[in-house]
Structure 1
Amino acid sequence: MLIKKLLAEPERSAAKQSKNTFYSNGDFIIGDSPKIKYAINLARKVAPTDMSVIISGETGIGKEYIARFIHENSLRKDKPFLAIDCGAIPKELANSELFGHIKGSFTGAISDKIGVFQKADGGTLFLDEIGNLSYDVQLKLLRAIQERVVSRLGDDKHRNIDIRIIAATNEDLNYEVKENNFREDLYHRLNEFKIALPPLRERPEDIKVFMSYFIESANKELNRNINGVTPEAESIILNYPWYGNLRELKNAIKRAVLMAEGESIDTECFPSEILHPEINENQPTAVVSQEINDNSKLKHASSEIEKKLIIETIQEAGYNKSKAAKILNIDRKTLYNKIKLYDIKL
């Protein structure tokens, strides 16, 4: 696969790289910026080892693709690679999803189930958004990693496992440890090696490369023949913050290719939130993907009132964001997105 070849090659001339390094594996694009090259070099170095890895980075930046690259270049490459989104698992089912259960161990357990730890035996288990796991599941996860054994829910038998753990997060786990939301012993067990993926807005030299690839991809998918962007449209793309990173850029380009009337994308092809991000900052639903609970204090607040309420609540909670989120009746991730959205300085 070409992405493996590109990632595995140690050095090439800048001229050659600019032509080829935007080839993709799914949605993941390799850029030319020094920051992404450094991150990829770290992934290349740690891949042949059995070290646990934490990959940090914002939503949509490609953490799973880096995890797959590490697996595919490891001694476990012929064994399973399993990815699980810890943020998408209902808290009451996390234990079962990770470790399995036996029939009758809880209401609804109508048959035995093997957890992902056993399914990934011999290979790599990728735990995305690991910060969303509850404290009790974190404890069982720690024991499984330390002792290399797991037991299914309701079962007293222990099964040996041999897996490599790669975890990913868009949160600051160091901060979560200090706030007692994430176990410090588990953090240190996972953090044998860390790779921080830079957000797209910190890699402006890459955006044109990604833009070209996404136009080409959208042309094929939508049966269009768009050959580029106008200077004005390019300026919009280069100056937009792209908080959704590659995922957001891909969606924006695909929409623009569909909307284009001529052979080039112009500013009319973009929605207002991209054309006027400074206005859209007062419209949190455009950025925050989590739904606000009907009982939340934020549900019917205007943007300015909402921002003021968040600041006052965080201060009231002694700058403990987890406590503030509970007071506001929203989850921590929603609160973090709101803080970023309103550029709240604490």
Structure 2
Amino acid sequence: MNIDMIQAAALRLNGHARRTPMLTSPFLDEIAGRRLLVKAECLQHTGSFKFRGGWSAVSALDADTRQHGIIAYSSGNHAQGVAMAAAAHDAPAVIVMPKNAPTLKIDNTRALGAEVVLYDRAGGESREEVGGAIAQARGLTLIRPYDEPEVIAGQGTVGLEIAAQAAEMGITSGDVVTCCGGGGLSSGIALALEAKAPDMRVRTAEPKDFDDVARSLATGTVQSNARESGSLCDAIITRQPGELTFPILSRLAGPGFAVTEDDALRAMALAFKRLKLVVEPGGAVSLAAALFHGDEIEGEAVVAVATGGNVDADVFSEALRRYA
């Protein structure tokens, strides 16, 4: 992985991905105790930054490979990103999703033209085994959600935009807080910042009890979560950091954050109230860290990447009912 791959992905994404805005609010600045910039990737195609990685990976395949079909596994956001990219390239797509994924994400993936295969995550069924068996039987190309070079390159384009947009706003140093599952987005952004804004540093944010990346960064060794379900932040729940992503984060990232579900819901309500953004729980943990963990952040400015907005109505309503 290197900056050249990220810049190549940016060229392939040009005209296809949105350059999402960097939003501010004086009310949020007051809570955060510093200038807070929110990179609104929840406004990206399919409602998530995952479109970038999906498009990057699909567009990097040769035409013959795409024609035979693509398979991916995901709780929903990577699923939709790959499904949309595959459809645009006239490539068949199969997406393996957990039965307990948010209904909105399952429905959207099907609506984008992909065949959805459901598996029992809560019962211990392995998405890797299910996806691998289908890929082998049908001759499909697997696009992993984070441990995939071209996916990381696509996610890294968020970092290129952050560096440019922050500079336009007079900010060249500070922490960039990213919602983190397997680390594809965080590692891609870290590589981009290393090249384009070396005084800006990635900080990962995860839900409490699923903070494998934060614990791995603290110990210097890969740590695993005891389970892979049971959190509202379904979009960023993984067993452990990726084999490709962890070495990058070990070298470039600062200490990670672990935030409560209540703080994620509070951040969702504040994003709606102050920025008019709809953010899902897993996409709001970065904002929660920036708002409610200010004593762990140094500098006069912080960037929070709001990574996704694909939230079921009942969860979003609960966040507003409790905190708006």
- TM bin, normalised by shorter chain, reads 0.3 to 0.5
Highest CA radius of gyration, 1 or 2? 1
Query: Normalising to structure 1: TM-score of the pair?
Result: 0.31
